[in-house]
Amino acid sequence: MKIKELKELDVKGLAEKLETSKAKLNQMKLNHSIAPLENPSQIKVARRDIARIETELRQRELNK
């Protein structure tokens, strides 16, 4: 997910995206603990996407 894409979403859209991303990350972690993922770097990418979304939400909160 690119920052440009995040800036186009509204706060509600970002919150929904954050919720789905967190659920996806938790599912990947669970699957990886049972059987190794084919590409474990997906976990790192998902964590970074979550951080980008949270950063954008925080910036919008501070700019109000």
DSSP-derived 3-state class of residue 63: coil
Task: Find tokens 């190794």 and name the residue.
Answer: 36
The set of residues, in sequence order, having a beta carbon less than 8 Å from that of 56 and lying 6+ positions away, is 3, 6, 7, 14
Overall CATH class of domain 3-62: mainly alpha
Domains in the chain: boundaries? 3-62
pLDDT at position 9 is: 92
Per-residue pLDDT of 1-52, as tens digits, reads 788 999 999 999 999 999 999 999 999 999 999 999 999 999 999 999 999 9
| pTM of the full structure | 0.90
pLDDT for res 1: 73
pLDDT at 47: 97
pLDDT on residue 64: 80
